[in-house]
Amino acid sequence: MFTGENIIQIVSGFLHWAYAQVGISALAGAIDPVITAIVMFGFISVFVMFLVWMERKVSAHMQSRIGPNRVGPFGLLQTVADAIKLTTKEDVKPVNRDKIPYFIAPIVAFVATFMGMVVIPFDKGMVVQDLNVGILYIIAITGFTVIAILTAGWSSNNKFALLGGFRSAAQIISYEVPLVLSVVPIIMITGTLSLSGIVEYQQQAGYWFIFPQIVAFIIFITSATAEANRAPFDIPEAESELIGGFHTEYSGVKFAMFFLGEYIAVVVSSAVAVTLFLGGWLPVAFLGFLHLPGFIWFLIKLVSVIYLVMAFRWTFPRLRVDQLMDFGWKVLIPLSILNILITASVWLLLYGKGAQ
């Protein structure tokens, strides 16, 4: 069967054959992860470009427009053209910027979100590094973006950017809490922090966690949207209030890095949502006869979740900064704590003390 695991085996077999040909078999252990990372990087770049195109198409059709349709078939190459434009364009910098933080901020924003991809299992065994603390790792590493955004807002020496940076700090810190709390019930049930382990548990149990944990799913998607600074929680950017927020003064490649960082954050959080709640690479039950490889199922689910996030953006107004805090602290956190309590008590009732 043509599954993700087979692909990995074939590829690694090919690689080891190639190493033997050039005589560096001894180094294989060191080179393998590097090559995997490069492949990952390529895949993610292409996928993010597809997402940008998808977002524009989705928004266009929601607004009864056509969207990009000039470059390539259905405008698919539009993002490539945009990327070329952004990379070749002049990098306009404010004179009184704080030079080093201004330079570092977009790199941190890009890298921090990108690192999250390392532990996402696309298929059984198709994962760069299957950490046993995968969820913790993702939550920790994506939290880095707040530093990037705050640095960007501060170093641009622009009033709107500074306001945006402060808003972002307040927002991301308060939405980390419900994000983590919504994941806790699943960890309680499965007893593992590894993402692959959670998917395997769903396979054995025969159901996806979205069914017992619908509340957690809603809380997770909401907080993940807020974490990625996307509408309706895009107050750090808020183009009708703060023009561009923290990236007001960024242009060219640096802007592209922020832009890509935002989309990768969407991919990472949606991928985690798929893994935790939608059964990762498992096939949809009533469509099992299709016998598609696991990573195709994963991508289908991923794109559906991302569509949901995009539909939020193009339907809802933006919250005000204090209402955002209120919503986070007064609605999401109590709900997620309640969810933990209910899950724990039901599990105790059902399985007794020896649950697991």
Binding site for other proteins (CB under 8 A): 58-59, 61-66, 69, 159-160, 163, 167, 170, 218, 231-232, 234-235, 238-243, 311-312, 314-323, 325, 331, 335
Nearer to other proteins, 21 or 63 (CB): 63
Of 245, 284, 72, the residue nearest 156 (C-alpha): 245
DSSP codes of every residue in 243-272: TTGGGTT--HHHHHHHHHHHHHHHHHHHHH
Distance of alpha carbon 185 from alpha carbon 254, whole angstroms: 39
Nearer to other proteins, 195 or 306 (CB): 306
Nearer to other proteins, 56 or 124 (CB): 56
Nearer to other proteins, 36 or 155 (CB): 155
Distance of alpha carbon 301 from alpha carbon 237, whole angstroms: 28
What residues are paired with 123 via a beta bridge? 126
Q: Closest distance between other proteins and the C-beta of residue 25, in Å?
A: 52
Q: Closest distance between other proteins and the C-beta of residue 182, in Å?
A: 15
Nearer to other proteins, 127 or 226 (CB): 226
Q: Closest distance between other proteins and the C-beta of residue 257, in Å?
A: 23
Q: At what angle do helices 214-227 and 252-277 cross, to 10 degrees?
A: 170
Q: Closest distance between other proteins and the C-beta of residue 91, in Å?
A: 22
Q: Closest distance between other proteins and the C-beta of residue 290, in Å?
A: 22
Q: Closest distance between other proteins and the C-beta of residue 161, in Å?
A: 11
19: Cβ contacts below 8 Å, ≥ 6 apart: 25, 27, 28, 31
CA R_g for the chain: 21
In this structure, the number of other CB atoms found within 10 A of the CB of residue 99 comes to: 10
Nearer to other proteins, 117 or 231 (CB): 231
> Within 13 Å of residue 200, how many CA atoms lie on the same side as its CB?
11
